[in-house]
Chains A and B, each alone.
Chain A
Amino acid sequence: MRPLLGLVLITFRELWARKIVLGLFIVSSLVLLAVTFALNLDVVEGSLAGIRLFGQEAAPEDMGGEDAPPLTLSRVVVAVESVVAGVAYWIGILLALFASASLFPDLQSDGRVELLLSKPIGRLNVLFGHMLGVWSAIGILAVYLLGGVWVIMSLKTGVWNPRFLLSLLLVVGMFAVMYAAVMLMGVWTESTALGLIVSYGLIFISMVLAAADQIGPTLGPVGGPVFWGLYHGLPNFTEVTQIVSTLAKGEAVSSWYPFVSSLLFGGAAYAVTGYWFVRRDF
């Protein structure tokens, strides 16, 4: 247990020593400060009486269109939390992948892997410790940003939206799924660049796959099944955005399938990575 914990701590420290993660932490802190001090909500007897952003008055009635429903306190909370969750999901995961992509190839590099694998720790534990270290480092960032925004908004408004916290799990979960692709490429090629290209490529493909209902039927007897095979087999990163957004609004999710199928992809990628990592020579 001690060697496993040691590897988790080394990986965690290594990721946090990177400037880009430090940058994410600083940006998250600025977001929390902005939500705390720049966004002022005047609440009178439980209703939203006024909004000030950076000191500028923004009357609630000005913030919606003519046909929009009246701007209530809960709608403002949902709007802020949705924006933060969406940004954390897309920008956060892309940057987190960028920051962490070199860790696994580095671990396998000459001079590092020998030190590690000569210790009394099994290879699967090395892999597991590395994964836990990366996940926990990114998880702490996500908890800091999303949990912080949730606590601040809830305390300021009295509107508690517990479903929003599930979006936090989705952000960390989808990062873990995409990191599986980075690790798979890492154990296969030891290339940081290829890991990033493949993971970003999967995100790009997921944008196309998100329109499966429109595109699938147009592809004919060969293209159609192939397209649907990709839809079910690859991570549905873009579609999970919808789940994150739904959770941020405090609404019930109608289908978890995109997230579940993504987790299955991640699980399979980690399993193959583990198989290769245990068998390969260093």
Chain B
Amino acid sequence: MPALSVSSLSKTYRTGLLRRSTVRALDGISLAVEEGAIFGLLGPNGAGKTTLVKILLGLVRPSAGTARLFGRPAGTPAARHRIGFVPENHRFPGFFTATQTLHAYGRLADVPRAERNDRIPHLLDRLALDGRGDTKVETFSKGMLQRLGLAQALLNEPDLLFLDEPTGGVDPVGRRAIRDIVLELRDEGKTIFLNSHLLSEVEKVCTQIAILRDGTLVRRGRVEELTAVDRVYDLVATSVPDSLLNTSELPLTPGPDGSSAASGLDQYRVHADDRATLNAVVDRLRSAGVEIESITPLRQSLEDYFIDVVDSPT
């Protein structure tokens, strides 16, 4: 059973005084996220990411389609028992201390007092907020607030965690700390649904991504598969004779980084239309005495891939 699934999900907002204007935020989205995945939801502003997350959490009602969390209809209290959520710009009552905040929101998450008493000191310690338990939340920095938000989301030991821009406005050290925690949670088997604009962060932690554009799902899959450039490979080998380069016989060009003096190896790029061509290149190079160190599919950065996708004509 997937941790979450949506099927033909659509949402149209009605706006204006007489609610006659409409805005189509989601248009027939279908996707599923398996348990244990770190799933990144990407898209430009206005693509419908926040609407999708809000439907899954029950904050927004879909116009059509279904959304389920662990098989239960999304938005019901029963479905929310197994989830944790860190909103982008969450606000806690400032007069609470960190410990009081966690007790208050733990109570809302239906966590018994004895369990709260056990978990809160541990969570404060894990999120580098130990020693801050008695400090009023209104004095917290942005990074500390984000970590406190993560603590409240983890208090009920959720199986599925929604993170909406968890590192937004956080300094690099805090960002690293949050990323490390996300990876720890992945190792614990939690499913994580990450909504972020920071593509470098997404690339570092997510196993799968989906890209929304104008309310529709335009790409989804594993990060390494999506970012692999079709039929282009990086080859590292001993020096290839000039006679073999840039010829019609071999689709081989010098790589962008050139030779690596330290290892005595050179980099090349192979443009093979199919597997047979790739193998033919390898055979020709071997017969010419070239020693091959590695051949890897060329990958572009997630940011480049994302921009290609969202800028491409519909």
Contact = CB atoms under 8 A, between A and B. Distances in A.
Interface of A: 2-3, 5-7, 9-10, 13-14, 17, 109-122, 279, 281-282
Given A2-B112, A121-B108, A13 B93 contact: yes
Contacts of B77: 120-122
Interface string B260-278: 0000000000000000000
A3 B90 contact: no
B108 A116 contact: yes
**Across chains A and B, which 4 residue pairs bring their CB atoms closest together, nearest first?**
A6-B107, A111-B91, A118-B85, A114-B87
A115 B104 contact: no
Contact of B90 (A7, A13, A111): A111
Given A119-B80, A121-B110, 10 more contacts: A3-B108, A5-B107, A6-B108, A10-B108, A13-B96, A110-B89, A117-B58, A119-B110, A282-B59, A282-B60
A4 to B, nearest CB: 9
Given A9-B104, A120-B80, A281 B13 contact: yes
Contacts of A2: 107, 110, 112
Given A115-B87, A120-B81, A3 B59 contact: no
B59 A119 contact: no
Interface string B79-123: 011011101111111011000000011011110100000000000
Contacts of A9: 104, 107
Do most interface residues of chain A lie in helix, strand or loop, or is the interface mixed? helix
Interface string B112-153: 100000000000000000000000000000000000000010
Contacts of B235: none
A114 B60 contact: no
A112 B91 contact: yes
Contact of A3 (B58, B88, B110): B110
B74 to A, nearest CB: 11
A281 B109 contact: no
A59 to B, nearest CB: 50
B105 A117 contact: no
A19 B103 CA distance: 24
A10 B58 CA distance: 21
Contacts of A121: 77, 108, 110
Given A10-B93, A114-B59, A120 B104 contact: no
21 contacts: A5-B107, A10-B93, A10-B108, A13-B95, A13-B96, A14-B93, A17-B95, A111-B89, A111-B90, A111-B91, A115-B87, A115-B90, A118-B57, A118-B58, A118-B83, A120-B77, A121-B77, A281-B54, A281-B59, A282-B54, A282-B60
A111 B137 CA distance: 15
